[in-house]
Amino acid sequence: MAIEVRNVSKRFDDFVALEDVSITVGDGALTALLGPSGSGKSTLLRIIAGLETPDSGEVVIGGEDVTHAPARMRGVGFVFQHYAPFKHMTVHDNVAFGLSVRKRPKDEINERVKELLALVRLEGLAGRYPSQLSGGQLQRMALARALAVQPKVLLLDEPFGALDAQVRAELREWLRRLHEEIHVTTIFVTHDQEEAMDVAEQIVVMNAGRIEQAGTPRELYESPSNEFVMSFIGPVNRLGDAFLRPHDIQILPDSDSTGTEALVERVVHLGFEVRVELKLHDGRDVWAQVTRENAQQLELREGQILSVRLPAPRVFTP
Amino acid sequence: MGLPPAPTGRLSERGPAPDAAAARAKAARTRRLGMRTIALGYLALLLLAPVVMIFYRTFEHGIGPVWSTVTTPNAQHAFWLSLEIVAIAVPLNTVFGIGMALLLERGRFWGKALLGMLIDLPFAISPVVVGLSLVLVYGNTGWLGDWLAEHGIQVIFSLPGMVIATAVVSLPFVVRETMPVLRELGIDAEQAAETLGASAWQTFRRVTLPGIRWGVVYGVVLTTARALGEFGAVSIVSGRIEGQTQTLPLYVQARYENFDPTGAYTAAVVLALLALGTLLAMNLLARRTRRRIPV
């Protein structure tokens, strides 16, 4: 179901967590709330879930105003950053919790739990306790638990934050596929732009309690509406008021001297990508991103003087 | 999602030279032994020797005198009265203690710090003073005395007063033992239960309470031990009427003062066994559950 947040504000004592925030998430969409810590993204997620009350504004889920409805009446599935497992219950009982508080018949519960554990690939672990699971398994258990009550929307708070890099990448891929399978409207919070770009269909960029821009990953990357979005999403060179993407800086072959003169200060090989740190003739530092192949052709080495073509820089007027 | 295999190298083989290591290990052993001797000696002098002496003196002249003491009506009455008081005061303090711990740990209200201090007051005030102050409120000439008399309720010199006195002196245990586990539990799991559709009561029953149960159980054990042994406050409010308002500790003192040491020792042993039983029951319960749920 679609989610609409209208003009929501929230403060904690003196700290303004959210200021006049509005977002719309379409039915079945997979959306990321992206921003640095303290930007208000988790608070916004908790307000949608009903775990915090906004000072003003409205939350509408599936056309119904739920601003004043308690969390348990909202039909949201919430996955907490540290999974919030019920430590004294087995995996089976954790997943069954939502159904058992609704007093569903035992057979139905057992069947549903079995289905869900298969969905999150924890079939063999139904009898284990949370302390016997790895981070990735806990994460999937928390997800199954949230999905058990067939929520109208699924909310995940930094779902991959506490996992190591490899597990993270796998779960990312898996969450995206799961979403394709069950198609429940999903919002997840992250501070990692790569994660947001990788998983989400739509990204809402937040900063200091406000929304900077919302759009598809490509829209945000290609036409950021302000400085913050430009520098938060993707790598960036800053020259005074102007911004350039490192891969837009073109290093010219020796024969071509039509560009700006630059000194190669450092060449860093990062696999497919090569990072070239340059000092321009006017003393400004920039770095360029070239492919490994390109770097080989140009025979880049430190101390070399060459010529580069700078793209038309982007300037944002506040 | 396979984990890399654990390193299997035997680190001990690469330790320092054997002689130096052996000498260091020996010194550490001596140090540990010394510490243990001091700790055990202290315990023996302060706790073990007196308890052993009581047991010894009780059975000094065989089981006969012990049996005749245990079967006197006054002793029987004191025993059952003590259990009755515990059976009322401990559940009262458990419910109150959990509620108060939740309030102090989760609530946000003005005067919370003050309330937290107030809870500890029974630890700071002498039980005798607690007893006297209860008489001042509930006694015949006390603040509520007239009202209570009008309604035919007798508090002082009867069971209600003794229950109240016992509850007051053992008030802080459950609160103080529950608060830290409540803090450690955090609110995430409770909020998770809420988003899954659990009502406040269901969340408390199925998530909060199981999460804090060891704190509560420990608090209950301490409360029980304290309530069983309470002397000062109960001594004042009970009037110490033999066969009527005489609890087991009061009985011990009365026997002792009446030159009946065997009676006093016997009752003391019964008290000690009751306390020991409570501790043992908790330990067994804890061990059984821990084996079931790895934490």
Please report whether residue B113 resides in a domain: yes
Average pLDDT over residues B116-137: 93
Kindly state whether residues B208 and B233 are assigned to the same domain: yes
> Is pLDDT of B214 > 60?
yes
Beta-carbon contacts of residue B78 (< 8 Å; ≥ 6 apart):
B246, B247, B248, B250, B251, B267
Please report whether residue B150 resides in a domain: yes
**DSSP code of residue B14:** G
Average pLDDT over residues B186-201: 94
DSSP chain A: --EEEEEEEEEETTEEEEEEEEEEE-TT-EEEEE--TTSSHHHHHHHHHTSS--SEEEEEETTEE-TTS-GGGTTEEEE-TT----TTS-HHHHHHHHHHHTT--HHHHHHHHHHHHHHTT-GGGTT--GGGS-HHHHHHHHHHHHHTT--SEEEEESTTTTS-HHHHHHHHHHHHHHHHHH--EEEEEES-HHHHHHH-SEEEEEETTEEEEEE-HHHHHHS-SSHHHHHHSS--EEETTEEE-GGG-EEPPTT--SSEEEEEEEEEEETTEEEEEEEETTS-EEEEEEEHHHHHHHT--TT-EEEEEPPPPEE---
**Does A136 sit within 8 Å of B196, measured CB to CB?**
no
Q: Which chain A residue lies closest to B290 (C-alpha atoms)?
A: A88
> What residue type is assigned to position A171 of the chain?
L
Identify all chain B residues contacting A170, using CB atoms and an 8 Å cutoff: 1
Kindly state whether residues B271 and B161 are assigned to the same domain: yes
Domain with residue B286: its CATH number is: 1.10.3720.10
Question: What pLDDT does residue A253 have?
Answer: 78
Please say whether the beta carbons of A90 and A100 come within 8 A.
Answer: no
Kindly state whether residues B197 and B256 are assigned to the same domain: yes
Nearest to A88 among B1, B193, B293 (CB): B293
**Does B189 sit within 8 Å of A51, measured CB to CB?**
no
Domains and CATH numbers, chain A: 3-231 (3.40.50.300), 236-310 (2.40.50.100)
Please report whether residue B251 resides in a domain: yes
Gap from B6 CA to chain A (nearest CA, Å): 15
Kindly state whether residues B172 and B205 are assigned to the same domain: yes
pLDDT tier at B17, thresholds 50, 70, 90 = low
> Is pLDDT of B7 > 50?
no
Last residue of a domain, one of B29, B58, B87: B58
Please report whether residue B14 resides in a domain: no
A208 — contact with chain B (CB < 8 Å)?
A: no
Gap from A111 CA to chain B (nearest CA, Å): 18
Q: For residue range A250-276, what is the model confidence (pLDDT) as tens digits? A: 888 777 777 888 899 999 998 889 999
> Is pLDDT of B8 > 50?
no
Kindly state whether residues B89 and B223 are assigned to the same domain: yes
Question: What pLDDT does residue B295 have?
Answer: 57
Last residue of a domain, one of B34, B58, B82: B58
Identify all chain A residues contacting B188, using CB atoms and an 8 Å cutoff: 80, 82, 84
Please report whether residue B212 resides in a domain: yes
**DSSP code of residue B59:** T
> What residue type is assigned to position A193 of the chain?
Q
pTM for the model: 0.81
Helix axes B261-292, B248-257, angle to 10 degrees: 150
Those residues of chain A that have pLDDT short of 70 are 318
**Does A88 sit within 8 Å of B188, measured CB to CB?**
no
Please report whether residue B188 resides in a domain: yes
Average pLDDT over residues B131-150: 91
Question: What pLDDT does residue A303 have?
Answer: 86
Give the whole-angstrom CA distance, residue B25 versus residue B70. Answer: 54
Provide ipTM, 2 decimals. 0.85
**Does A85 sit within 8 Å of B195, measured CB to CB?**
no
* Six-digit token string for B93: 């303090």
A159 — contact with chain B (CB < 8 Å)?
A: no
Question: What pLDDT does residue B184 have?
Answer: 92
Question: What pLDDT does residue A242 have?
Answer: 82
Kindly state whether residues B73 and B39 are assigned to the same domain: no
Please report whether residue B10 resides in a domain: no
Question: What pLDDT does residue B202 have?
Answer: 96
Kindly state whether residues B243 and B274 are assigned to the same domain: yes
Question: What pLDDT does residue B182 have?
Answer: 95
Mean pLDDT over each residue of chain B, to the nearest integer = 89
Gap from B189 CA to chain A (nearest CA, Å): 5
**Does B189 sit within 8 Å of A87, measured CB to CB?**
yes
> Is pLDDT of B229 > 60?
yes
* Cβ within 8 Å of A, B 184-203: 188-189, 191-199, 202
Residue to substitute from A72, A90, A104, A147, interface B, most B β-carbons within 10 A:
A72
Kindly state whether residues B111 and B201 are assigned to the same domain: yes
> Is pLDDT of B207 > 90?
yes
Domain with B43, as residue range(s), is 21-58
A vs B, Cβ pairs < 8 A, gives 78
Lowest average pLDDT, out of A299-308, B69-78, B147-156, goes to A299-308
Identify all chain B residues contacting A167, using CB atoms and an 8 Å cutoff: 1
Last residue of a domain, one of B9, B36, B58: B58
Average pLDDT over residues B184-198: 94
The total number of structural domains in chain B stands at: 2
Tally Cβ neighbours within 10 Å of residue B83: 14
Kindly state whether residues B39 and B138 are assigned to the same domain: no
Kindly state whether residues B50 and B157 are assigned to the same domain: no
> What residue type is assigned to position A89 of the chain?
M
Kindly state whether residues B86 and B46 are assigned to the same domain: no
Kindly state whether residues B105 and B73 are assigned to the same domain: yes
Q: For residue range B154-178, what is the model confidence (pLDDT) as tens digits? A: 999 999 999 999 999 999 999 999 9
Please say whether the beta carbons of A135 and A163 come within 8 A.
Answer: yes
Please report whether residue B11 resides in a domain: no
